Chain A
Amino acid sequence: MALRNFLKFRLPLLQHRQLNQSISFIPVRASSFNASEEFKDYDNHPDVVVTKNPPEWKYVERLLGYQVIPKPTVKSEYPSGWTAPNPELYKDLPYFIERTKNYMLPVYLHITFRGQRRTTLIKNIEGDIWQLEQELNKVISKRVQKRIFSRINEMSRQIVFKGDYVTLIQKYLADRGL
């Protein structure tokens, strides 16, 4: 009975110990932190050198980024199609569209009802919102050869067009220097 009990409780332990011994010969793999050294007492930590204003600091500064969104500089060309606002062109217009904080035109596509409804939203409109809607309506309906439905919210300075006309509207506004 005693022997049986011994085997029942001690044998797995003995086997475990043997297993551990065999594990110690497996080479260290660098694909996981499980292989790294265990954390020891603070007193065992190595001596350190503190370098003030080190030559590597330029690499650190590169990783800190900017606090304020940088204003795009004037370039000879913008391959992405982005355009800078041109006051010379838009100063005589009865309306104005303010750029977003990212210096982009506030023209957005909204997809609702699982792609069944697509609407184009224009924001930040100042001045004669009614004339802007008329002009855009004329341009789009001429291009797509059908009647365009739109909604003007004068209070929140927004226009919504039914349909996806983002590129068309962005191009029209960019041509007018907005």
Chain B
Amino acid sequence: MSTVKHTTERALQLMRQLPRVKLNNIRNNPGAYKTQKRGRAQHGGDKHGDGMKSHCNYMRLGYETGNTPFYLRFTYESYYKDHHLRREYPPISLNQLQTMIDTDRIDTTKPIDLATICLTGLYDFFPDQRQYGYQLTDEGANIFKTKVNIEVQHANELVIATIEKNGGVIRTAYFDPYSLQALRNPKKFFERGVPIPRRMIPPQDAIEYYSNPKNRGYLADPEAISHERLVLAQKYGYELPKIEDDVDYEMLSETKDPRQIFYGLEPGIVVNLEDKSIIRKREN
């Protein structure tokens, strides 16, 4: 004769026999979801969710019930405001730059500029899409070791500190789209047989950036820049290497004129690649 079991015990015994709750057998509680059905009686389907507004077949154009039209329902966020005026600087990280130097794509015994970066074949940009050169980003700032003289279009404080800590020189410079086309592929530009143009001065909203010694702008006062170099060294806590005593002083002090595009080539000359000659205006 079997003993009479308690209800709890019987329920537990039942649970032991039942399958475990798994992803393949879980269900919603009955009535948890209500499927929407259209009424079929006298006034069942004659308003289409629009209440007493109208007895139309579909909603009024631009409305989805209520008095607010769809185009006014959400706030306006102008992500693309002034997109036709904004300048873009596609990034290159310090890590990428170091890899290019390690694999001998860039010669650090000569100053680096946008043309050098494009000549590696690992970077390209499109001046016609308002891309105004490259920005050097701080990814890999902890591993960067090389002494370089580099000209960039945009750089932040950490990048400037990293370059200067390693005994290098950094300068931010603006180039107008026509000059950028020449820098993007110098050989193609020389083959056109046109004189090297003068670099244009930056537009009004970029002048402030490029004349600020904190950004190492190419229009800034050189004495203010050397002061800011010292300030940044103190802020980041490194000893500023003396460029004047460096063996590569000549390379590190090489700069471009604010109206010049290529190193060592003044505007107005024509470069003939075939005859290895330079054509310039006769001076009286």
B187 touching A64, Cβ below 8 Å: yes
Q: Using a CB-CB cutoff of 8 Å, which residues 94-115 of chain B contact chain A? A: 95, 98-99, 101-105, 110, 115
Which bracket fits the contact residues of B?
A: 35 or more
Q: Using a CB-CB cutoff of 8 Å, which residues 45-81 of chain A contact chain B? A: 46-54, 56-60, 62-66, 69-73, 75, 77-81
Q: Using a CB-CB cutoff of 8 Å, which residues 108-155 of chain A contact chain B? A: none
Nearest Cβ on chain A to B137's Cβ, whole angstroms? 15
Residues of B within 8 A of A81 (CB): 143
A48 touching B282, Cβ below 8 Å: yes
Stretch at the interface among B7-15, B33-41, B232-240, B257-265: B257-265
A51 touching B277, Cβ below 8 Å: yes
- Does B192 sit within 8 A of A, measured CB to CB? no
What count of chain A residues pass the 8 Å CB interface test?
Answer: 38
Given A33-B178, A56-B265, A65-B187, the answer on whether A49 and B103 have CB atoms closer than 8 Å is: no
Q: Using a CB-CB cutoff of 8 Å, which residues 70-115 of chain A contact chain B? A: 70-73, 75, 77-82, 102-104
- Does A30 sit within 8 A of B, measured CB to CB? yes
Smallest Cβ-Cβ distance to A70: which chain B residue: B104
Chain B facing A: main interface SS: loop
A52 touching B277, Cβ below 8 Å: yes
- Does B275 sit within 8 A of A, measured CB to CB? yes
Residues of A within 8 A of B198 (CB): 30
Q: CB-CB contacts of B144-164 with A at 8 A, as 1s and 0s?
A: 111000000000000000000
Given A30-B200, A65-B119, A82-B102, the answer on whether A51 and B280 have CB atoms closer than 8 Å is: yes
Smallest Cβ-Cβ distance to A60: which chain B residue: B271
- Does A18 sit within 8 A of B, measured CB to CB? no
Say which residue of A47, A58, A77, A79 sits within 8 Å of B281 (CB atoms): A47
Nearest Cβ on chain A to B93's Cβ, whole angstroms? 10
A32 touching B265, Cβ below 8 Å: no
Residue contacts A-B, CB under 8 angstroms, 26 given: A30-B198, A33-B178, A49-B281, A50-B277, A50-B278, A51-B278, A52-B275, A52-B276, A53-B276, A54-B278, A56-B278, A58-B264, A60-B265, A60-B273, A62-B110, A63-B119, A63-B187, A64-B186, A64-B187, A65-B121, A71-B104, A72-B103, A78-B102, A79-B143, A80-B143, A82-B99
